[in-house]
Structure 1
Amino acid sequence: MATRKKSKRASLGERVQVRPSGVHGKGVFALRPIRKGARIIEYTGERVSWKKAQELPPHDPKQPHHTFFFSLDDGNVINAAVGGNDSRWINHSCNPNCETSESKDRIYVTALRSLKSGEELFYDYRLEPAERRTKKLERLFRCNCGNDNCRGTMLDLA
């Protein structure tokens, strides 16, 4: 199991829409231009302890390593599988156009550069596995971004 590491609610207006992605399954797309530095959406969901998160069954048994967990600085986790919004469908990229940040125990997705209407949003998941990192684990969390600087995995290499 791995959680997303840091890199406004949907009430910020209809800025994004979930639709099929060429990278992986569903993706989140800008409905209108978004300026660099704009806070796009909050990553929402049920807050649980890391211990409880590890005990939860996968939200999709066919993809047991796919997670909607996002780690917080206080050691808790946001589980977007319960009470999550469109932000849970933002895909990973090794060359992201968005980043995530924590403010007062809330996670926000912000534009790293100006985004065009119709552009898919991406941030670098930098997943932190609970278990020891191996080549097998890197393959389980394979990256599909296709960028020239792709590191081949969604895991944090730091």
Structure 2
Amino acid sequence: MEAKPSEEFYRVGRSNTGLGLFATDVIERGSFILEYMGLRISSEEVHCRRSARYLFEINSRWTIDGSPRWNTARYINHSCRPNAEAVVSRGRIRIKALKRIKPGDEITYNYGKSYFNTFIRPLGCKCQACTATRSRRTKTRRLRAE
């Protein structure tokens, strides 16, 4: 059975994309971080919900509505180069570290193609990897223009 870390290992704080979840202690690669929790709703109910931002599909029949503020995992932001992943197993969503996460690092995972195309792409991805890439491209264009 996995040991569940206390909330001492992470905190909610300001990030480039709003609120985010940050490590306060070292989280080793492969470690369980926390569980994405909320009300389990049927696929039929999903279509009636107005806000789809915190809906996490478990399978073709069930989805977890993670919108309650007590679901700390809802604060984990998207990244195109994440340091964590969401693992769906036995109807539960567990967030695990893909690599060693240092104190102060934001905990992120990839939200998937469907969510990305619906919510993130229209506004532009603001994850650290994409922001750095855009910055490098802008700098290169400026240097070429000179």
TM-score by shorter chain over 0.5: yes
Structure 2 match to 1:30: 23
User: Rg larger in 1 or in 2?
Assistant: 2
Structure 2 match to 1:95: 81
Query: Deviation at 1:138?
Result: 6.5
Query: Deviation at 1:74?
Result: 4.7
Q: Which has the higher contact order (CA 8 A, sep 6+)?
A: 1
Cα 1:91–1:53, aligned 2, differ >3 Å: closer, same or farther? same
CA distance in structure 2 between the partners assigned to 1:141 and 1:149 by the alignment? 13
CA distance in structure 2 between the partners assigned to 1:73 and 1:143 by the alignment? 26
Cα 1:76–1:101, aligned 2, differ >3 Å: closer, same or farther? same
| Structure 2 length-normalised TM | 0.77
- Could you tell me which amino acid in structure 2 is paired with residue 50 of structure 1? S
Structure 2 match to 1:119: 105
Percent of aligned positions with the same letter in both sequences?
31
| Structure 1 length-normalised TM | 0.71
Structure 2 match to 1:147: 129
Q: How many equivalent pairs are there?
A: 131
Once superposed, what is the RMSD of the aligned Cα atoms? 2.9
Q: Which runs of 5+ in 2 are unaligned?
A: 135-146
Structure 1 match to 2:141: none
CA contact (8 A) 1:50 1:75 kept: yes
- Could you tell me which amino acid in structure 1 is paired with residue 32 of structure 2? R
